[in-house]
Amino acid sequence: MSNTATTPSATAGGPAPAPDAPGPPRARRPSRGPRKPRTNPVLQALMVLMVAYTLLPLYWLTVNATKSNGELFRSNGLWLGSEISLWDNIVATVTYQDGIYLTWLFNTALYSVVGAVGATVICAWGGYALAKFDFPTKRLVRAVVFGAITIPATALAVPTFLLFAELGITNTRLAIIVPALVSPFGLYLMTVFAADSVPDSLLDAAKIDGANAWTTFWRVSFRLMAPGFATVLLFNLVHTWNNYFLPLIMLNDPSLYPLTVGLNQLNNQVTTGANLEPVYNVVLTGSLLAIIPLIASFLFLQRFWQSGLAAGSVKQ
Amino acid sequence: MGAVSAPAAPQRRPARDWTGLAFVAPFLLVFGIGVVAPLVYASGLSLYRDQLIGGRSFVGLENYVDVATDPRFLDGIGRVGLFLAVQVPIMIGLALLVALVLDSGRVRGMRFMRLSIFMPYAVPSVVAALMWGFIYGDQFGLVGQLNDATGLSLAGPLSQTWVLPAIGNVVTWEFVGYNMLILYAALRAVPEELYEAADIDGAGEVRKAFSVKLPALRPALWVATLFSIIGSFQLFNEPNVLQSLAPGSISTHFTPNMYAYQLAFNANQVTYSAAVAVVLGLITVVVAYAAQRMTARRETR
Amino acid sequence: MRLSRRVLLTAAPGLCLALIATGCGGGGTGGGSASSADRSAEIEAALEEGGKLTVWTWSTKFDDAVAAFEEEYPGVDVEIVNAGQSADQYTALQNAISSGENIPDVAMIEYFALPELALSEQLVSIDEWGLGGLEDRFTPSSWRQMTYGDATYGLPNNTGPLIMLYNTRVFEEAGVEEPPATWEEYAAAAEKIKKEMPDSRIASIDPGDAGGLDSLIWQGGGRPFQHEGESVTVDFTGEDTQKVNDYWSDLVSRDLVAAEPGWTDEWWRSLGDGSLATWTTGAWALGNISSTLTDNAGDFRVAPAPVWDADDPQNAENGGSGFSVVEGSDDTALAMGFLKWFSLNEASVDAQLDAGSFPAQSAPLEDPEWLSKEFEYFGGQQANKVLAEASGQVSEGWQYLPYQVYANSVFGDSVGSAISGGGSVQGGAEKWGEQLRSYGEDQGFDVR
């Protein structure tokens, strides 16, 4: 019964051909029988409720980002106010304190892209090595690194801060990027991907051709691992984009903040009266703008998610 | 061995060389800087004590003795334990239900639904907590409006009684779609032959769900559960953000992570905070490992 | 900046991380006695020479004053940085000083935090720079709050004598004719409001605001915190302290006041729509309410905070802050020059007053023009007269703990939890006191 668990390549054809996974149902659906399953009203109602639940806060945020501060206090939270001030709010958000919001957005993008791309490349190399090479200390490396998957990142944050403070590198961009480069789970996923998608015969052939390991990796293996690379990249991107605890403790210069820390600081500012006028509209519009890039990336890249998740979890 | 074991070693046997190590070296480097060194440093630091008056002194394992009996730390551990025991099963159960329904193909608009339910995963937890914080308002938030409309007087979600479920809801909202997608992806990978065999046996949909789908889902369920357990122990962002709305309900030691933060950044007790972080890390690893052993044993039975 | 770091590190023994300067340096609170050396020439020279200054404040009330300074001294470039709110900023300051990176030259410091920062040697004493003689330009209470031990660590800037904002519409509807002058009348008004308007309460008490309860206790004559050198006293069992706590417990348990955190979206809405009738707070709040609840123009008035004894009105302060030069500043002379000009120059003070700051400087408080200013938002009331009177009645002898930042951070755990859970405020306060005593002992203080 645990067949599926141990031989994913045989079942799902490995993670590599995943790009077609989430789209229209794969071949097995129609083949399951000539009868197309009928819509079940109970299940349908259940799912509609579920969708309402997940979309409600997003709906709320969108609606309220269209309101001016005064309107926000006056109007019903679940419906539009008497006027739509979305554009004014966007202008207010990006010009607030000389455009600090755009700085935060830039920082978030920088941390995410550098951190996530870096982490994913490092994971690709490592996973490739663990799947396709035999070398001394490999067992040890594997045991230690995969064991580290269970160490919560936030439990590491305070120790990392303490170390970096000793080294005098807190409050620098490096202090956010370096910890973001470590992704044990990404390494694990890349190991799975590499094992499944790079045939040994190809590597042998390359070797016979006299290509060195480095060239072989980039010319042959990396291309085969590309779908897996995309999946791990997405994982790391979301993690660094949403990172809050580490930058919260590491940074004290607002011009280095990512969006998460900046938005929460703004919110605290509002809720303690430091500003004469509480800029709820900036907090709400800023929140909305902050989630749009990721949601857009989800819409476009959803198939990589599903394929990656399948590979990572089916395998144990 | 870690909680998640690596795939079987490849059959390929090249000459023993160090090429592989060179490829994995960058990872080991960042792993050393980002994981090993902080843990070693924090462990070292945790043997000292800081005082506003008197400075720093070596105290051996005293901090660990204190942690073991610290009511505030234990309060936080107890709370995340409860959270874990209630929220994780609810979230995974919900994710499983949705995944099974989607896989059954008996609803319309599947693509839209799958995407909608997954979408909250894209929302940073800070923003999620901010949004729910507004919605939770018992005067003007959704709950307040519900009370106004129905004449009920539902307690505020951020009151002392309800604040933990309220946080559980935020976390469920954020991650139910993510877990759903893990399970759904695993379901899609179930080989057709298994269904055919079940059809030949004359199994109905419900029986198929139990005899074919659930067993096939076990590894995916395990991964989802493992990450949810780790997530529970990490609980910080949501209560931290909601604290300004509910200072009387969310204490500074509400979760172990909040306590570590409080100690390091408000209480000048950096070294004690290091001890808390080390103990918290150990507890998480042990719980995750124990959970894995339990599953592994069940599987081999 | 570099230098200060080296100094810190050499002072730090062994593995010492020096997160707290004294934590490593070995404590020592004698902030150098007031050798009022006249270094005004040095300061003048620095101002003339110019340079770059970084000022940390999370308030936006100072932008114009800083601009005025830059106009006066074009050679000086002042950057205002928001490094976080209150406790967050103090943490950031500590981290900056310990790492030697990104240390500001001047920072806004709330009075409650000053003893802690002074004790941990994060601030430069102004006595060493000959600014100690400026004492009579500020209100006595504010000046006292900038001193720790024998030294003064900066100049006071703004204060928050306790006043009461009330919504006239609610008072009218509930039949409260005069704003309550004593706490007894206040309780009676609270009953009336609840009876006439079941959805409204006279006020809310904030379970997260240590400063709020502190000032109510201060006003009632309680003095739970005292410190001298390395010895501290934490005592919530004093008669006056208990009187205040029990009063609020009573109002909470009779559901006459709401237990709701302030400053949230919910709370502003409640204040705006009359669900909350009054707000007892610091004088600085006038600007906040008038620019937030713009729809309520004309509804609110300012009254003195209710007192315990109408024949002997005693007041307290809520909030308030000064500016200090930070240890490790690149250019201390220039920072001192800025501090003095920013705090006392007329153009600067005027700009701050216009931005809604309530002054710690004595001059404006006696300025007839300022006093007779009519506030359109408050129905044309000459509100500053009320505020100035409130400022004059602030009672003496209040002190904060040399670890008040920590103390405030755990307020919600004990007192806040009691308020939210409908328990006894006094019980919560005693629990708070217990925690503060044990913390003080852990930190090496002599706790009495």
Closest chain C residue by Cα to residue A267:
C264
Give B31's pLDDT tier (boundaries 50, 70, 90): very high
Q: Which residues of B touch C17 (CB under 8 A)?
A: 45, 56, 270
Averaged over A170-195, what is the pLDDT? 90
Contact C31, C57 (CB under 8 A): no
- C292 touches A: beta carbon within 8 Å: yes
Averaged over A135-146, what is the pLDDT? 85
Question: Across all residues in chain B, what is the average pLDDT?
Answer: 86
Contact C384, C373 (CB under 8 A): yes
CA A100/CA C37 separation, integer angstroms? 42
Q: State whether A155 and B277 contact (CB < 8 Å).
A: yes
Q: Which residues of C touch A244 (CB under 8 A)?
A: none
Q: What is the largest CA-CA distance in chain A?
A: 75
Q: State whether C19 and B51 contact (CB < 8 Å).
A: no
> Does residue B18 sit in helix, strand or coil?
coil
Non-local CB neighbours of B213 within 8 Å, separated by 6+ positions: B100, B103, B187, B190
Averaged over B80-99, what is the pLDDT? 94
Q: State whether A291 and B122 contact (CB < 8 Å).
A: yes
Q: Chain C: nearest CA to B82, how far in angstroms?
A: 20
| pLDDT for the residue A310 | 63
Q: Which residues of B touch A303 (CB under 8 A)?
A: none
Query: Which of C81, C86, C100 is the closest to A168 by Cβ?
Result: C100
Q: Tell me the count of B-C CB pairs closer than 8 A.
A: 127
Question: Across all residues in chain A, what is the average pLDDT?
Answer: 80
Amino acid identity, residue C170? Answer: V
Q: Which residues of B touch A119 (CB under 8 A)?
A: 30
Q: Which residues of C touch B243 (CB under 8 A)?
A: 208, 412
CB atoms within 10 A of CB C281: 26
Query: Which of A122, A133, A154 is the closest to B236 by Cβ?
Result: A154
Give B186's pLDDT tier (boundaries 50, 70, 90): confident
Is residue B4 over pLDDT 80?
A: no
Averaged over B23-43, what is the pLDDT? 93
% of residues, chain B, pLDDT over 70 = 92
Closest CA to A194 of A158, A232, A222: A222
Amino acid identity, residue C255? Answer: D
Is residue A58 over pLDDT 90?
A: yes
Query: Which of B7, B18, B33 is the closest to A135 by Cβ?
Result: B18
| pLDDT for the residue A23 | 36
- C408 touches A: beta carbon within 8 Å: no
Interface test with C, best of A276, A281, A287 (most C CBs within 10 A): A276
| pLDDT for the residue B284 | 84
| pLDDT for the residue A271 | 64
| pLDDT for the residue B295 | 67
DSSP for A142-207?
HHHHHHGGGS-HHHHHHHHHHHHHHHT-TTSSHHHHHHHT--HHHHHHHHHHHHHHS-HHHHHHHH
Amino acid identity, residue A306? Answer: Q
Question: Residues A3-48: pLDDT tens digits?
Answer: 333 333 333 333 333 333 333 333 344 434 445 667 889 999 999 9
Q: Chain C: nearest CA to B98, how far in angstroms?
A: 35
- C102 touches A: beta carbon within 8 Å: yes
- C102 touches B: beta carbon within 8 Å: no
Query: Which of A168, A265, A270 is the closest to C99 by Cβ?
Result: A168
Least confident of A119-123, B67-71, B87-91, C98-102: C98-102
Contact A252, A159 (CB under 8 A): no
| pLDDT for the residue A275 | 60
- C265 touches A: beta carbon within 8 Å: yes
| pLDDT for the residue C356 | 82
Radius of gyration of chain A (CA): 24
| pLDDT for the residue A29 | 43
CA A280/CA C267 separation, integer angstroms? 13
First to last CA, chain B: 20
| pLDDT for the residue A274 | 58
- A264 touches C: beta carbon within 8 Å: no
Give A152's pLDDT tier (boundaries 50, 70, 90): confident
| pLDDT for the residue A31 | 39
More confident residue, A82 or C276: C276
Least confident of A62-66, A139-143, B137-141, C136-140: B137-141
Burial of B153 (0-12, 13-18, 19+ CB in 10 A): exposed
% of residues, chain A, pLDDT over 70 = 82
Give A307's pLDDT tier (boundaries 50, 70, 90): low
- B53 touches C: beta carbon within 8 Å: yes
Secondary structure of chain C in the HEC alphabet? Answer: CHHHHHHHHHHCCCCCCCCCHHHHHCCCCCCCCCCCCCCHHHHHHHHHHCEEEEEECCCCCCHHHHHHHHHHCCCEEEEEECCCCCHHHHHHHHHHHHHCCCCCCEEEEEHHHHHHHHHCCCECCCHHHCCHHHHHHECHHHHHHCEECCEECCEEEEEEEEEEEEEHHHHHHHCCCCCCCEHHHHHHHHHHHHHHCCCCECCEECCCCHHHHHHHHHHCCCCCEEEECCEEEECCCCHHHHHHHHHHHHHHHCCCCEECCCCCHHHHHHHHCCCECEEEEECCHHHHHHHHCHHHCCCEEEEECCECCCCCCCECEEEEEEEEEECCCCCHHHHHHHHHHHHHCHHHHHHHHHCCCCECEHHHHHCHHHHCCCECCCCCECHHHHHHHHHHCECCCCCCCCCHHHHHHCHHHHHHHHHHCCCCHHHHHHHHHHHHHHHHHHCCCEEC
Full-model pTM: 0.86
Averaged over A233-242, what is the pLDDT? 87
Question: Residues A199-228: pLDDT tens digits?
Answer: 888 888 888 888 888 888 888 888 888 888
Q: State whether A125 and B24 contact (CB < 8 Å).
A: yes
The parts of chain C modelled with pLDDT lower than 50 are: 1-36
More confident residue, C104 or A253: C104
Give B140's pLDDT tier (boundaries 50, 70, 90): confident
